[in-house]
Amino acid sequence: MNALSTVYIVGAGPGDPDLLTLKAARLLKEVEVVVYDRLVSDEILDMVPSGTTRIFAGKAARDHHMDQDEINELLVSISQSGRTVVRLKGGDPFIFGRGSEEALFLSDHNVPFEIVPGITASAGCGSYAGIPLTHRGMATGVRFVTGHCREGKHLDLNWQSLADPDTTLVIYMGLINIAMIRDELIKAGLPANTPAGAIERGTTKEQRTILTTLEDLPSCIEKADLQAPSLLIIGRVVELANQLSWQIPAMDCDIEEHA
C-alpha cells in the first residue's frame, strides 16, 4: 500500500490571483491533483499546470455538485493513492470555508494535512471596495457571520448582539435572506439609516459595489440584480467608500420610494 500523501487545504483568496500567498502559488505548481471549489477564479485555475488532475467539487446554495461527505472521502482516497493534493477553497479555509471539517475528517483517518491561509472575502472585498472593516471613531470591532442556513433550518443569530452601531457587521452568503436580516437587525435596535454596502465578485474585474442604507439594502440588491458571490457590509465604515474606493467606483443606490 502506498504511503499516505499530504493534503494541502489552501485558501485561494477572494478572486484576484495576485492575492494568492507565495506558498499557495508554489503548491499549485507542485502537486498532482487539485480539488477546487466554485468560488475559485478562472485566473487562479489557469496557474495550474496542464498535466495536473483537476477535480471540480463546487457547491452553491441548494446546488451541490459534490456534497461534503463525498469531498471528505475523495481527499482521503487521493491521499491513499500516494498522490499529493491541493484542496483549493475560495477565501480562507477556516472562515466559513468548511476547511476545519475537512481537516478533522483527514485527522480522523490519519491523513497528513497542512492548512495554507488565504485572504478572506471580508478583508479582500472590503479593501477593493474602499471599505475599511475598522476605523477610529467609527468601528471598535468587526463581526463575521453567515447569512445562509441549512435547508429547512431558521437563520438563528443573536440579533441583539449583532445590532451594535459601533461594530462593523460582515455577512457572508446573505443574499437569499437579506430581507429577514434587515428586518431582524432593525427590530433589534440597529438604526435603519445605518450605512450598508454589497459587493459582488469582489477583487475581480467584474466587481460591483452598491452603497445604501440598511433599510434600503434588500431593494438595492434587487434593483442592481446582484448575484452570488456577494458580500454584505453594514456599519458606519461603509460611508468611507465614497472617498476610498480606488479600483472600481461604487454605485449609490437611489430608491424612488425613499427619495
Active-site residues: which are they?
37, 59
Q: Which of 245, 216, 244, 210 is nearest to 230 (CA)?
A: 210
Say if strands 195-200 and 208-213 run parallel, antiparallel, or are unpaired.
antiparallel
C-alpha to C-alpha distance for 81 and 29, rounded to whole angstroms: 19
CB atoms within 10 A of CB 121: 28
C-alpha to C-alpha distance for 80 and 243, rounded to whole angstroms: 53
Q: Which of 57, 59, 58, 45 is nearest to 15 (CA)?
A: 45
C-alpha to C-alpha distance for 253 and 259, rounded to whole angstroms: 10
Angle 131-155-231 (CA atoms, 0-180°, nearest 5)? 20
Q: Which of 55, 17, 54, 59 is nearest to 38 (CA)?
A: 59
C-alpha to C-alpha distance for 130 and 144, rounded to whole angstroms: 18
C-alpha to C-alpha distance for 112 and 5, rounded to whole angstroms: 7
Cell reading at 56: 471540480
Provide CB contacts within 8 A for 79, sequence distance 6+: 4, 5, 6, 7, 85, 106, 111, 112
Task: Return phi, psi of residue 47, to 5°.
Answer: -80, -15
